Structure 1
Amino acid sequence: MKKLSFIFAILFVTAVLAACGSNTNKDNEQANEGNGNNNEQQEETLTIKHELGETPVQKNPQKVVVFDFGALDTLDALGVEEVVGLPKMNIPNYLSKYEGDEYENVGSLKEPDFEKIHSLDPDLILISGRQSELYDDFAEIAPTIYVGLDTTRYMDSFKENVNTLAEIFGKEEVAKTELEKIDDKIAALHEKASKDNGKSLVILANEGKMSAYGPSSRFGIIHDVFGFAPVDEGIEVSTHGQNVSFEYLHEQNPDYLFVIDRGTAIGGESSSKQLVENDLVKKTNAYKNDKIVYLDPENWYLSGGGLESVSAMADEVEVVLEP
């Protein structure tokens, strides 16, 4: 009897140890599965390098706040539907769907509504030059990426921004196709413009004053990328351009004059034509040959650097090369 009791005791202990081992294995498997999930999540996190730093961003963010209309333009062209908030003042007409109630107004381009942004609990915030000084404030709310254009290397900077957004949202193939279309369009334009003997000038009309822009400037894409020769190689490079007079326009005598109306861009009435076409300017080749082009200020002043706007900008300037 004692022998049987001993045998039963041995069997009982063996069974308990086996059960413990089984539970331990299950725990280990669950732990490994948990680690696998964490690794998978880590693989879905991208580290984005930009002008203001490096930002870890979750791939395919669900809620995005956008403070750059060029980036909004690109997201729209890529088919990204995760935008939840943006500044609703002066939205370009071709992006007017974002005026809808399903999109929250998060302040203005220069005065963000941080309380509203915080309430949206975004996964990603996109900013550019007008908000750069507030980068740390944005970053405290959510991962923030600077997507402003470096106009001294316009196309490289533009493509970097497009490819960054495409990578974040898994739209690489769409971006590749759209960029190839733009490259082909610009190559054809550049070939025509670089063979042309005409000299060009870009001016911004603003409240009765004019500023000129040359190569490597805010609107230098006309010279640096599209291939139009500048009438003046020595224009000061600055965000606000070089102040110029009508006497300057008359002296430089451009063959092509490109005009951007800032007043129209920010919601005012257009006055650039009345400002520019005075007696002195009427003596220039540009006026005499009907080669003054009033560029769409939304594309050039508000949403430059987007997939749609860059393509439209190329179309706008090409008209001066038509007979």
Structure 2
Amino acid sequence: MKHITRTPAIVAALLAGAFSLTAMTASAQDKVIIHAQGETTISGVPAKVLTSDWAAFDNLHALGVPVAGVPASNAPGYLKDFVAADAIQIGSLFEPDFEGIAASEADLYIVGARSRDAYGTAKDILPTVDMSIDNSAIIAGVQGNITKYGEIFGLEDKAAELNATLDAKIAEVKAAAEGKGTALVLVTNAGNVGVYGPDSRVAWIHNELAIPSVMENVDDGDHGGDTVSFEFILERNPDWLFVVDRDAGVGSEGAAASLLDNELVNQTSAAKQGHIVYLDPQAAYITMHGYSGIMLLLDQVLAGLKA
């Protein structure tokens, strides 16, 4: 066997090449994720994920991604069975438990609409992304987030499949709504009634389904919408009423049906024709940016339109 003598210079060059290859491999596994509050570099595929946003949990569940840490309250009924029994509880929607988040040694933390203020602190603890979206373009925002999660977790094909299914559902419901008349999207809150419009939690009813509102210039409020009276509802006389019961959405006793069962509302075209659709309150109010929640609401609107 021929003996090859390696000088110190050759050894150093070989080691430098090996280190360079390792660095290139590691760099290739890094992903720079652009989100609502900047950019976050994620190394590899996150194995342990935390979120303080139920919409994020919804989207990850739709993709089949397990979630190790969740908010301690307000879990929507349609998602409760999918929360792992040993999931870490990391504070409320608005006030995350940063000590618990730091101790978790997770690979990724996700904030959203209600928890987005936590980003400034969380980003210095572990890789954090803000998946908040614009209510005026909810469907596009949800699909954008699904695509982004697909990139993060190497599930691009599954993400594309989900987005295609959502596109098809939107097209189906939009076709069913065509020519069916006007609507008001009402939100009931502590005995008051408001209108949700083109910048609200369910803005897709008007913006994506093209169901026209009988109220122009809606001043969308975070909780109670643009407050109106029963006389106003009768005066505008919509063909459809889509109702979000905020009280039920946040865990209180729902009161929307009894509140709207009155002499004035019952005179509207919507009431006379049985065109009042009560939307899932948690999907509409808590997880308004979640994939499964949007699909659930679209099916409810479709069922109402076809009834």
Same fold (TM over 0.5): yes
Does the 8 A contact of 1:215 with 1:233 survive in 2? no
Measured in 2, the distance between the counterparts of 1:154 and 1:268 equals 26
Structure 2 unmatched runs, 5+ = none
Cα deviation per residue 1:137-193 (whole Å; 9 max; x = unaligned)?
A: 111111211111211122221211111111000011001111111111111211221
Aligned residue in 1 for 2:22: 37
Q: 1:265 aligns with which of 235, 242, 249?
A: 249
Aligned residue in 2 for 1:256: 240
Structure 1 unmatched runs, 5+ = 1-14
- Percentage of matched positions with identical amino acids: 34
Q: 1:285 aligns with which of 269, 278, 283?
A: 269
Measured in 2, the distance between the counterparts of 1:64 and 1:100 equals 12
Measured in 2, the distance between the counterparts of 1:239 and 1:230 equals 19
- Residue 201 of structure 1, CA deviation: 0.7
Does the 8 A contact of 1:189 with 1:227 survive in 2? no
Aligned residue in 2 for 1:206: 189
- Residue 70 of structure 1, CA deviation: 1.5
Greater helix fraction, Structure 1 or Structure 2: 1
Does the 8 A contact of 2:186 with 2:193 survive in 1? yes
Does the 8 A contact of 2:51 with 2:111 survive in 1? yes
CA change 1:239–1:89 in 2 (3 A) is: same
- Residue 62 of structure 1, CA deviation: 1.5
Does the 8 A contact of 1:203 with 1:210 survive in 2? yes
- The question of 1:147 aligning with 2:156 is answered no
- Residue 133 of structure 1, CA deviation: 2.2
- The question of 1:222 aligning with 2:210 is answered no
> CA RMSD of the aligned region, Å?
1.8
- The question of 1:302 aligning with 2:248 is answered no
SS of 2:227's equivalent? Answer: strand
Q: What amino acid sits opposite 1:305 in the alignment? A: H
Does the 8 A contact of 1:179 with 1:307 survive in 2? no
Aligned residue in 1 for 2:222: 239
Q: 1:58 aligns with which of 32, 43, 47?
A: 43
Q: Equivalences for 1:10-49 in 2 at 5 Å?
A: 19-21=5-7, 23-49=8-34
- Residue 50 of structure 1, CA deviation: 1.6
SS of 1:161's equivalent? Answer: helix
- Residue 19 of structure 1, CA deviation: 4.1
Measured in 2, the distance between the counterparts of 1:25 and 1:102 equals 53
TM-score of the aligned structures, taking structure 2 as reference length: 0.93
Q: 2:141 aligns with which of 133, 154, 157?
A: 157
Q: Which has the larger radius of gyration?
A: 1
Aligned residue in 2 for 1:96: 80
Q: Equivalences for 1:182-197 in 2 at 5 Å?
A: 182-196=166-180
Aligned residue in 1 for 2:60: 75
Q: What amino acid sits opposite 2:71 in the alignment? A: P
Measured in 1, the distance between the counterparts of 2:208 and 2:35 equals 23
Does the 8 A contact of 2:187 with 2:245 survive in 1? yes
TM-score of the aligned structures, taking structure 1 as reference length: 0.89
Measured in 2, the distance between the counterparts of 1:296 and 1:144 equals 30
Q: What amino acid sits opposite 1:219 in the alignment? A: V
Does the 8 A contact of 2:47 with 2:107 survive in 1? yes
SS of 1:318's equivalent? Answer: helix
